[in-house]
Structure 1
Amino acid sequence: MVAFLDEGGMVDFTIEYELTPDEVGRALHRGLKLQLRAVRLAVPTILAVSGITCLLVDAIGLGVGMLAGAVLFPFVLAWSARRLAKRQLTYLCVPTTLRFTDDGYEYRTDQSATTMRWPLFGRVVSTPEFWLLFVGKQCSAFLPRRAFTSEQQAELDGFFAARQKAGAL
C-alpha cells in the first residue's frame, strides 16, 4: 500500500486490496437499502392497505395474499440482494489496485480496468465500513475503508465532504 500527497497538496493514493464475499454482500446490501428506500417502504405499505381493503370488502383470498406479500417483501428483497452479490463475487473478490486522485479513481484488476471521474457521482455516503458512490439514485460503486489507513480515511472523508459541500459531487 502506498499513499502520498503530491507537492500541490492534492490527493493521490494507490492501494491494493482484495474484497471478501461477506464485504461485497454487506456493501451491496447497504447500497441497495439506500437506493431502494422508497420502494422498501411503499410496496409493503401499499400491499398492506390493499390487503386490509380487500378483507373489508370480503375478498378474503386476495386480502390474505396481499398481507402475506407485505410481510414477505422485505425478505424477498434481501434474498435478491444476496443473489446479486453472489453473481458479482467473481469480478469483485480479486486482487485490486485502486488509484485515487482529485480527478477521480482508477480501479484495476487482472480482468478489468475502469476509470471514474468525480463529476459522475451525485453523492457519496460514508458508512463505518465503506464509501458508497451514487450516480443519480443508484449505488454504482463502493470503496472499502479497511483498505486505507486511518489517516487516509480521515483525508478522504474531508475530501468527499468538501466536494459535496461545493456541489462538485
Structure 2
Amino acid sequence: MSKELQNSQYEQLIKRHIKLLSFQSAINDSIAEGYLDDSLKVQDDNGDYPIVTALGEEPLSLLVKRCRAIGGNANIFVLTDKGTRYITAQTDGSGSSEEEVLDLSDSGQWSNGNAEISFFVDWLLRQEKPVKLPGRLPCSLDMYNSDVKLKDDVDEDNLVSIL
C-alpha cells in the first residue's frame, strides 16, 4: 500500500473521530441543559440513562459494538444528513413477545455489517415491530475505500474502541 493511501485512510479516520467527538459534546450539552429529559426512554438498573452516539456514515457494526460495550441497553443518537435521529436499544425486548419482533438476530444471515447507520435507522423507523439484532455483526475495518487496508498488525477491537 502506498504511503499516500495509508495517510489518506488515517486522515479520514481522524476527521470522523473529531466529528463524532463534536456530536457527543453537543448531545452531552443538551442533556446537561435538560433538553432531552423527556426523550430518554432507556434506563439501566442504577437509574442512569446510557447514551450511545454515532455518525450516520459509520458502519452498522460499530453501532452494535458500542451498544454491546455498555450492556446492550442504550439511548442512541445518530447524526445524519437529515439531522439528529433518536432510537433505542434494549436487550430485554422491552416486554415484546417473540411474535411482535422482527428477528434478524442470526449473525450467519449477515454477509457484513457495513451498511451505513443512517440507512439502517431510516429503515428501522419505518418498521412497525421492534427489530432484534445479533450481538455482533461482521465488519470490515476499511470503511471508506475498498482498495485501502490498514496495516495487518492493527487489532480491530482496539481500533474500534478508540473511534
State which structure, 1 or 2, has the greater radius of gyration over its C-alpha atoms: 1
Question: Structure 2-normalised TM-score?
Answer: 0.30
Query: Larger % of helix: which?
Result: 1
Query: Larger % of strand: which?
Result: 1
Question: Structure 1-normalised TM-score?
Answer: 0.30
